[in-house]
């Protein structure tokens, strides 16, 4: 297991910060601080190996067209005129522990994130693409729209959809900072497992949908400054109100103190 690098106010070394940790900060600054400064992380769950298998196979499909500089039939079907981008760093950009990186001088953070794919328009502009695999009964057009509760608040279980958008926007920011011209338009390839079959019979059928998203990375810069401010303090930030873990923990604590 690799050693956790924790934030140290006095260190001159760039502090690596992944796009998922930036997302953690936006979900709950307290959990982020505990993780990145104190070294206490939320317990991790099992890996989503079915999603990873879909990702790996989609990458293989698109890599054939990357090599041949041709459009994938799925792109043709969706009238996308952007071939998979063939760049010498593509493997590095897709490798979780590496990803595309940028040293943000104001904070001395080395920001990184691993992409699924990037396509190139005829004018050289890049399009960020992310693959997502799920088994959902919902209309694919609601892929990025979080459901709300009766009081109008977003259902906590649906907050991940906001995370999907931020994920794309950080990648757009990273590519721009690396000198590329990047389109605001991005795409999710949503592979939806079909449950309305007669049986499993050793096969899971998926239907692919292309979901367009207009990203806006304006928030990234200010967020990095806020993260730096948060980590530089000696006090724990506030916890998120919506977090189910904390509600669970405090309910247990109530009983433990009886």
Residues that bind ligand SF4 (CB under 6 A): 28, 30-31, 239-240, 243, 245-246
CA–CA distance, 67 with 121 (Å, rounded to integer): 16
Smaller CB separation from ligand SF4, 31 or 82? 31
Distance in Å, CB of 243 to ligand SF4, minimum: 3
CA–CA distance, 107 with 169 (Å, rounded to integer): 19
Smaller CB separation from ligand SF4, 103 or 236? 236
Smaller CB separation from ligand SF4, 48 or 248? 248
**In 194-207, which positions are buried (b, 16+ CB within 10 angstroms) versus exposed (e)?**
eeeeeeeeeeeebe
Smaller CB separation from ligand SF4, 30 or 161? 30
Distance in Å, CB of 247 to ligand SF4, minimum: 8
Dihedral of alpha carbons 6, 8, 11, 13, sign: positive
Is-contact 17 111, C-beta < 8 A? Answer: yes
Is-contact 111 100, C-beta < 8 A? Answer: no
Smaller CB separation from ligand SF4, 75 or 240? 240
Tokens of 57: 């196979």
Q: Sheet containing 109-113: which strands, arranged edge to edge?
A: 15-18, 109-113, 100-104
Tokens of 250: 């405090």
Distance in Å, CB of 251 to ligand SF4, minimum: 12
Distance in Å, CB of 138 to ligand SF4, minimum: 26
Smaller CB separation from ligand SF4, 16 or 237? 237
Distance in Å, CB of 37 to ligand SF4, minimum: 13
Distance in Å, CB of 107 to ligand SF4, minimum: 22
SS (H, E, C) 98-118: CCEEEEECCCCEEEEECCCEE
Smaller CB separation from ligand SF4, 11 or 42? 42
CA–CA distance, 135 with 113 (Å, rounded to integer): 25
Distance in Å, CB of 26 to ligand SF4, minimum: 11
At 154, which helix (H) or strand (E)? none
């Amino acid at each position: 297991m690799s050693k956790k690098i924790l934030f140290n106010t006095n260190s001159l070394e760039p502090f690596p910060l992944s796009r998922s940790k930036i997302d953690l900060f936006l979900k709950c600054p307290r959990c982020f601080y505990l993780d990145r400064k104190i070294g206490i992380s939320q317990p991790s769950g099992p890996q989503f190996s079915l999603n990873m298998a879909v990702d790996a196979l989609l990458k293989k499909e698109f890599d054939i067209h990357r090599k041949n500089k041709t459009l994938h039939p799925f792109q043709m079907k969706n009238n996308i005129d952007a071939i998979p981008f063939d760049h010498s760093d593509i493997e590095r950009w897709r490798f979780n522990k590496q990803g595309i990186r940028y040293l943000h001088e104001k904070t001395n953070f080395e920001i990184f994130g691993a992409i699924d794919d990037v396509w190139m328009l005829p004018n050289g502009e890049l399009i960020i693409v992310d693959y997502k695999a799920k088994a959902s009964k919902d209309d694919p057009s609601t892929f990025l729209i979080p459901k709300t509760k009766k009081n109008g608040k977003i259902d906590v279980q649906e907050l991940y959809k906001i995370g999907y958008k931020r994920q794309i926007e950080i990648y757009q920011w990273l590519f721009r900072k690396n000198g590329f011209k990047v389109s605001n338009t991005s795409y999710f390839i949503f592979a939806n497992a079909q449950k309305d079959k007669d049986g499993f019979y050793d096969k899971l059928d998926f239907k692919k949908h292309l979901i367009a998203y207009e990203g806006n990375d304006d928030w990234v810069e200010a967020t990095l400054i806020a993260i730096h401010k948060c980590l530089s303090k000696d006090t724990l930030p506030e916890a998120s109100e919506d977090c189910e873990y904390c509600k669970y923990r405090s309910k247990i604590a109530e009983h433990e103190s009886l």
